[in-house]
Structure 1
């Protein structure tokens, strides 16, 4: 691949469609700038540029779900990339194999059906979190603690700890603002992404402050009041 053949946009970015090299399933779509592209080529793992954080990020640096690059291609216009990878785990921060797990046609049919019946769509039991769903939080807490101890080069969590508490606090504030904007826009898809980013940065802050997550959960347990039926 010759970087001179590529056309980056006005912001110096080029879209990258990431596919599973074996199944050809589209895993995610992200952006690369020239630096992240060079790092991807050098390390043979995917590096991207975050438009919201305005910085490089190494896929899997926090979760361990790295993507080993098998092949990279660019289109006839040289303004987009296809990256074939061998994923070490789920591509989506939600734990899904692919970020493209929502079926727009099905959701459209459900919405039309609800509107035609004049009813409000309510949450079903399977939409509420179960205990197993919180395993990812426990794993994330351990991973963040390990990152602080080992400080692996290139990891975004390492970068946050190196910059210190002021940087971490700034990121918590920025992500909280993004959550507010997504909520005001009534955009549930964007809201879940921004909420996940906020939770991650909050977990980093707790680690920096040496405050275990279980102490926060203990506070919630103390605040819990028995229902009228109990």
Structure 2
């Protein structure tokens, strides 16, 4: 069932979204050569607690996962695309890092992801990240009241396919509100003017995940959570939580 939100509830999700953004900014600023991934997770825990939030990840246990998720962040490096558990490995110059975070404030959830490099990005990494952000921006621009969910998917997919990069198969965005994952599924490729009508009160997370090698397939990491590119190429991931309102789209994690 799709959960539509009132204007007051959208404001509440925006409070959670502001804390998501503050936490991601703190993590990006702290990331550098020699920093352990677990240290970034510890920092995020402190920022979340200081902001009155609680993790949406800790204890999350979908049916496909081998165990409940143990951290507040997903930190995926280089050829790892999404869902990686932060461990004691250290960041190195040139690493391409994707950080995904969902949290709740007063029972309302927001979700976002960013990608960045340790040091100046190579031309190839810059192009990959720019294409991923462009796909996200296209999806948000297509999220107009009265449109269709397929408009968002088609806009994202058009940018991705034009870039020549791969699209992570079987993954996409989702509804969000009182829990992290709700209906509807938001595919990163589809047909315009098809699917659910975009009505005021709909809140969704849009998240393109691109692979530099141009393939869509993937492999699972040894921890059973992380997903990596099948060809060893690098990956990028950007995400925002947005709301459809009577006057247009609102980005709640900006």
Q: Greater share of strand residues, 1 or 2?
A: 2
Higher relative contact order (CA 8 A, sep 6+): 2
The TM-score, its normalising length taken from structure 1, stands at 0.26
The TM-score, its normalising length taken from structure 2, stands at 0.24
Q: Greater share of helix residues, 1 or 2?
A: 1
In our comparison, the structure showing a higher alpha carbon Rg is 1
